[in-house]
Amino acid sequence: RWASSLGATPWQILFWKQSCTGIINTATGIHLAGGLRATCRGVAAAPAHLLFASLIQMASQLGFNFAFIETSTARAMLFISLNPLWAGLFGRCFLREVLPYRTIIALVVGALSSLVVFVPSLLPSSPDEDSVSIRGDIIALLTGISLAAWITMMRYTLGRRPDAAIDLAAGLGNLLAGLCALGMLLPPGYESLTANLDLSFVIVTGVDILCTAGFFVGFVVVPRYLLGAELALILLL
């Protein structure tokens, strides 16, 4: 939202952020897989798993960026923060995960607590009223679902195809999102990549890239140790 206020278009933000984040996360994915040769073996071992997880990652990143542009921050956070519920449901249905009672209680409390964020935007006097968008709400909801699906796919692959180079999924997904943005930017010409951008945009986006890349380094490692719903709950912090 800050980069957008500086004059950058949504597709410019997506291209620079996701492309640079993808490069960093692809490099860390290769490192986590044990090097380039091990990565190639992992890709060949389960290419469909990697492709599907990368596509889910691409969808979640496209949705995450547009949700905050299309609707208010409060509403976007509400619908995205429902992802622990989806993660618990997907884990139960597809992985037969049994959630501890403490996790179930935390899920219920977390869902109820999220309503505190939503209530102010329902009031007529809410300052976010003008920025509310049904389309943005739907994008945010689908983004939360895609995040839960990505966690579930990661855990599914780690459990059933441990030889797969699934650590690449975050980087490749971000690169695919960057390519989607590039496809939308290029028709007018290459100058559209940098039009209206200045040093402020570089600083804001650079900080965002480093934070997002660091987040996904942890995001590909933690599914090895936590249930999907537990991971999603911790993400809310």
For the stretch 62-96, pLDDT in tens is 998 888 878 877 778 888 888 888 998 899 899 98
Q: How many CA atoms lie within 13 A of 30 on its CB side?
A: 10
CA atoms within 13 A on the CB side of 29: 28
pTM: 0.83
CA distances, 11 to each of 57, 68, 89, 132, 201 (Å)? 17, 13, 33, 21, 14
The residue type of 115 is L
Mean pLDDT of the chain: 85
pLDDT in tens, 111-131: 777 666 666 655 554 555 445
Q: What angle do CA 18, 21, 27 make, to 5 degrees?
A: 135
